[in-house]
Structure 1
Amino acid sequence: MDIRTLKNKTKTYLAGDWTGDKAAIDKLHQWNEGNRWSLHFIDVHDLAQSRDNSNNCSIKNSLRTRMGISKTFVLIVGEHTKSLRSGVCYLCEWYRANSCLLGHSVDNRSYVDYECDMAVKENAKIVVLYNSTVVVRNKCPEVLRNKGIHKPMKKFNLDTWNVEWDYQTVKSAIND
């Protein structure tokens, strides 16, 4: 399927630290795929993937295409979300002396910052989920800090004294 031919904005775009917050992203996918859960979305990343060896410009172009068919933008915020640098041009093999040897414009935003900016530009429904029991907005990229719905993905269970995933809060945030 060529996602560039899709015109309807019906998909959900997931963004986050795919290494540090992988458990939270996996939990969203588990809830989405499980028969007993009523959370349902189509993750735009399942329609097309970038290769890890692609240059940053190509990956950002692919992200822009995916965002173009997305209605909802879900950002998972964890401990390191604001400090992510993956995707900045100065880390690319083609970057030299403030320019791109391939002739592309230089963009020193991380992939996450780029995705957040696109979500605002595309007027997507914004859901910010914190891989935590609390919402700590200063961990969120500044462009989204005061936009959209902000909810924790976890809760403290007073009966068991354990931290657990909070399906109901996440479901209501995404499905609102």
Structure 2
Amino acid sequence: MAYRTKTYIAADWSGDKDAVDQLNKWNDSKYWSLSFTDAHELTQARDGSLNCSIKTSLSTRLDASKTFILIVGSDTKTVRSGSCQYCDSCNSSTKSCKRGYSVDYRSYIEYECDKAIRDRLKIIVLYNAAKVEKSKCPDAIKNEGSHVAMCYLKDGTYYWDYQAVKDAIG
């Protein structure tokens, strides 16, 4: 059995890439003392067109992780990317996969959250905002783990809140 040593970052990559990039910037910097090993360095799906292939790759990375970080932005709860309903191999009338895979209507984010809870990972929810808004968080982890805002507002300007993030990650 492999030891879980990695940190897994989940996010709506189209809407919250800036927050993911900031987290990685703090991690990669010699100046900041944030330190984690990103599970995304392990493996990538080879077939970007099949949601089930991507979920298999996500599962491999989650299996090596001890910490699950979800970055929540304005669309995180409603993003549907990864659902089988958007795959050409899914027959919606029979609810079956033409390639023989099981049908999963969860988005990538819902899949990741469910697996993180099932595997009992340490859960950290970071909001790409100056306040925690649990209404934007997927229901599966709305009441799980630590919830922290990644930003703060000062004199009408938003700033990244390194200390709050560092304290949450530990």
Q: TM-score range by the shorter chain?
A: over 0.9
Q: Distance in 1 between matches of 2:142 and 2:127?
A: 12
**Counterpart position of 2:2:** 7
Q: Distance in 1 between matches of 2:45 and 2:57?
A: 7
Segments of 5+ residues of structure 2 without an aligned counterpart are none
Q: Distance in 2 between matches of 1:53 and 1:43?
A: 20
Task: Check the 8 A contact 2:43/2:60 in 1, yes or no.
Answer: no
Q: TM-score, normalised by structure 1?
A: 0.92
Identity %: 51
Measured against aligned partners, the alpha-carbon deviations of 1:50-75 in whole angstroms (never above 9, x if no partner) come to 24624111111111111111000000
**Counterpart position of 1:68:** 63
Q: TM-score, normalised by structure 2?
A: 0.95
SS at match of 1:82: coil
SS at match of 1:81: coil
Q: Distance in 2 between matches of 1:33 and 1:53?
A: 27
The CA deviation at 1:48 is 1.6
**Counterpart position of 1:27:** 22
How many pairs were matched up? 168
Letter matched to residue 130 of structure 1: Y
Q: Distance in 1 between matches of 2:46 and 2:130?
A: 34
Letter matched to residue 113 of structure 2: C
Measured against aligned partners, the alpha-carbon deviations of 1:80-122 in whole angstroms (never above 9, x if no partner) come to 0011111000100101121100111110000000000000000
Kindly report which structure 2 residues correspond to 1:78-93, keeping only aligned pairs within 5 A, or say none. 78-93=73-88
Segments of 5+ residues of structure 1 without an aligned counterpart are 1-5
**Counterpart position of 1:156:** 153
2:113 is the alignment partner of 1:99: no
